[in-house]
Structure 1
Amino acid sequence: MSLPDYITDIKNFLTDNDFPEQIDSAVILGSGLGTFGDHIQDALSIEYSEIPDFPQSTVVGHSGSLICGVVEGKTVLAFSGRFHHYEGHAFAKTVLPVQLAKAFDVDKLIISNAAGGINLRYRVGDLMIIDSIIKQYMMVSEPAVNTWSSKFEKYAREVKAIARDLNIETQTGTYLYVKGPNYESKAEIRAFRKMGGDAVGMSTAPELIEAAKLGVKTAAVSLITNAAAGVTDQKLDHAEVKEAADQKKGVFAKLVKGLIKEF
């Protein structure tokens, strides 16, 4: 499947700036999880603003830089910050990291996000392996459901086994996508729970669909950084996302390293 011409232009720009022609793994880092970049050895970093045709990330907790280096002996491309539809980007642009990962012929893609917990058994700080998604909008063209949903569940089982071998406790659940940028109402969260959602967020689903369409092996993990509206009496605040991510950054880094090595 062909990629947009601007993806080729971006790759050429990066390889002209000492990025390798082929990369083993790619990682999309969600809100507050950009500190994983500190674990990348021999790192070469380029700001999004310096890359032609690259969207800009404007959300707190997304630094907006592309990092290339080595983790666990594997070459890694890390997107420290993503672009959301609610920032004004077309869905076709929000999946640029997935397309660029494909252009670099990665063996695996690891997607992370910060999400609100819907499942009443979840607690702040839980890591949820995504094994299914619920979407309410047409975002990007999709492959046949029976082609990618079964692979998605298989990949989730692989991630679960790797986490277990690393003695990392995880949940497995369904990620419900909303456009944002506002947090959901209590009534919406009750409806989402009845629909089968375990966590809710404003990213990731378009990326997962694009990865399936392009045939990229993908692991997806949500860090539960807050309880969604109505689960507790606390007011939702973006600052708690960063706080929860800071507290879990060591475990998150351990899991991502394990996935880079074993997934």
Structure 2
Amino acid sequence: MYEKIQETASWLKERMTTSPKTAIVLGTGLGQLASEITDKREFPYSDIPNFPVSTVEGHSGKLIFGKLGGVDILAMQGRFHFYEGYSMKEVTFPVRVMYELGIKTLFVSNAAGGMNPAFKIGDLMIITDHINMFPEHPLRGKNFPTGPRFPDMHETYDMELIKEATAIAREKKIRVTYGVYVGVQGPTFETPAEYKMYRMIGGDAVGMSTVPEVIVAHHCGIRTFGVSVITDLGGFDTPVEVSHEEVQEAANKAQPLMTEIMREMIFRSEHVQSTDMETFNTDHPTESWKSQK
């Protein structure tokens, strides 16, 4: 696998005309952010050696090199999921390639079901932590030379990036929430009992992606920032049915706000120092995360 990663990275390096240090993974219904990217050079996944191909509606399947906010970036328009039948090494293959290309910061986005009663459909939830419920671990097997055998996971989602996103959201008067993302296998949406269980173990939102990518990025020493668009709600007294089309619609409506925050974060990461720790106020729906930090 490591040889394939290097082969893919070499193929891309021969064709790259920019030098991105930041990458973005665009999840369900959030691929429209790619329209904000200028000076594009696009590579369909099917053209890239060793790359999997996305099979899910809403994931177009392109690797994009270009600029966002005037900064060189790499974007994945569409990701790969465990429920599609891929192994965890295939799901996280692009993140390994990103490391070989020199990526230092990774932004991940997803559509998620909200379990926190303070959430509303269309909310942006900044991910502060995750709970891994996948049946296979992305670091299972021979250890890659990019990180330790037993990586520490105390600050998987970068605190400085969370502070920066908070400051930007406050300046632009964009409502953001904060919470723990529960990563599950899928492809079924959760039953009411499952929603309640995930809430009881500490989750605020649940989805079928992101966690494997973030674990591998962390193993590679890549700083990570994650945001979930709350596209449906569950675990409450009144059952709420949900469809993939409804999830996409809710994600599309929230996408401009997420784009605005990410664009500004990427710009500031290149040009401005992080905000002072004392100015950080999460306004988390619960106080548990603040007290732990």
Same fold per superposition (TM over 0.5):
yes
CA distance in 2, matches of 1:96, 1:232: 40
**1:163 Cα deviation after fit:** 2.7
* Structure 1 residues 161 and 148: alpha-carbon distance in aligned structure 2, compared to 1, 3 A threshold: farther
Give the alignment's TM-score, normalised by structure 2: 0.83
Residue of structure 2 in register with 1:160 after alignment: 166
> Which AA in structure 2 matches 1:150?
E
Deviates more, 1:55-64 or 1:222-231: 222-231
Deviates more, 1:229-238 or 1:35-44: 229-238
3-state SS in 1 of match to 2:154? helix
Q: 2:101 aligns with which of 104, 109, 129?
A: 104
Q: 1:80 aligns with which of 60, 77, 81?
A: 77
Residue of structure 1 in register with 2:123 after alignment: 126
* Structure 1 residues 86 and 120: alpha-carbon distance in aligned structure 2, compared to 1, 3 A threshold: same
**1:224 Cα deviation after fit:** 0.5
CA distance in 2, matches of 1:70, 1:116: 31
* Structure 1 residues 191 and 29: alpha-carbon distance in aligned structure 2, compared to 1, 3 A threshold: same
3-state SS in 2 of match to 1:69? strand
Is the Cα–Cα contact under 8 Å of residues 132 and 153 in structure 1 kept in the other structure? no
Is the Cα–Cα contact under 8 Å of residues 71 and 260 in structure 1 kept in the other structure? yes
Residue of structure 2 in register with 1:63 after alignment: 60
CA distance in 2, matches of 1:84, 1:26: 18
Gaps of 5+ in 1: none
Give the alignment's TM-score, normalised by structure 1: 0.92
Is the Cα–Cα contact under 8 Å of residues 45 and 53 in structure 2 kept in the other structure? yes
CA distance in 2, matches of 1:63, 1:53: 18
CA distance in 1, matches of 2:234, 2:268: 33
CA distance in 2, matches of 1:44, 1:193: 42
Residue of structure 1 in register with 2:212 after alignment: 206
Q: In angstroms, what is the RMSD of aligned CA positions?
A: 2.0
- Is the aligned partner of 1:17 residue 2:6? no
**1:10 Cα deviation after fit:** 1.2
Residue of structure 1 in register with 2:112 after alignment: 115
> Which AA in structure 2 matches 1:140?
P
Quote the sequence identity (%).
37
Deviations 1:58-96 (A, max 9, x none): 111100111110112211110000000010110111112
CA distance in 1, matches of 2:104, 2:151: 22
- Is the aligned partner of 1:26 residue 2:32? no
**1:212 Cα deviation after fit:** 1.1
Residue of structure 2 in register with 1:189 after alignment: 195
**1:19 Cα deviation after fit:** 4.2
> Which AA in structure 1 matches 2:245?
A
Deviations 1:187-222 (A, max 9, x none): 111111111110000000111111111100110000
Gaps of 5+ in 2: 141-147, 270-293
Residue of structure 2 in register with 1:225 after alignment: 231
**1:138 Cα deviation after fit:** 4.3
Deviates more, 1:151-160 or 1:108-117: 151-160
CA distance in 2, matches of 1:53, 1:232: 45
- Is the aligned partner of 1:5 residue 2:11? no
**1:229 Cα deviation after fit:** 5.7
Deviations 1:132-173 (A, max 9, x none): 111124412286888332353624334323332333221110
Is the Cα–Cα contact under 8 Å of residues 159 and 219 in structure 1 kept in the other structure? no
* Structure 1 residues 90 and 5: alpha-carbon distance in aligned structure 2, compared to 1, 3 A threshold: same
3-state SS in 1 of match to 2:206? strand
> Which AA in structure 2 matches 1:7?
I
CA distance in 1, matches of 2:100, 2:188: 33
Residue of structure 1 in register with 2:286 after alignment: none
> Which AA in structure 1 matches 2:206?
V
> Which AA in structure 2 matches 1:13?
W
3-state SS in 1 of match to 2:186? coil
User: Number of matched residues?
Assistant: 260
> Which AA in structure 2 matches 1:248?
A
3-state SS in 1 of match to 2:5? helix
Is the Cα–Cα contact under 8 Å of residues 28 and 97 in structure 1 kept in the other structure? no
**1:261 Cα deviation after fit:** 1.5
